[in-house]
Amino acid sequence: MTRHPFAKKYSYIHFSVKPPCTDALKIRKTMQDGLAEAFGVTASGTYLDILWIAEGGSNVIIRVAAEDASNFLAAVVTTTVSPRLSMIQETCFLPSLLLSKETST
């Protein structure tokens, strides 16, 4: 049996959102504004998926390409645009992120 290393294609990131926001477009706009502010207009087109927003809007899980993750994190957590996003956890294995989300709620 041949073992293949786990390919790190995507990075999954769990953020807290302050003030809470359930509008996916507003959260996406905040992320794009942060990327544009930190790295320019071209970076604001970084591909990302919003996978989950908590019912009350206090948490969000997004997926971004692994090669874009470090720039994405730097831009999003340093931006002054509202709502503010704070990273809770980042992983390349989504089920581990969901497990930690379930135990914290």
State the CATH number of the domain containing residue 26.
Answer: 3.30.70.3250
Counting the structural domains of the chain, the total is 1
**Enclosing domain of residue 73:** 10-97
- 104 domain residue, yes or no: no
Contacts by residues 72-77 (CB-CB < 8 Å, ≥ 24 positions apart): 72/11, 72/13, 72/31, 72/35, 72/46, 72/48, 73/13, 74/38, 75/31, 75/34, 75/35, 75/37, 75/38, 75/39, 75/43, 76/15, 76/30, 76/31, 76/34, 76/35
pTM, two decimals, is 0.85
- 88 domain residue, yes or no: yes
- 39 domain residue, yes or no: yes
- 93 domain residue, yes or no: yes
> According to the model, what pLDDT value does residue 104 have?
52
> According to the model, what pLDDT value does residue 62 have?
96
Q: pLDDT (tens digit, 0 to 9) for every residue of the chain, 105 residues total?
A: 566 666 689 999 999 999 999 999 999 999 999 999 999 988 888 899 999 999 999 999 999 999 999 999 999 988 888 999 999 999 998 888 766 555 455
- 42 domain residue, yes or no: yes
- 3 domain residue, yes or no: no
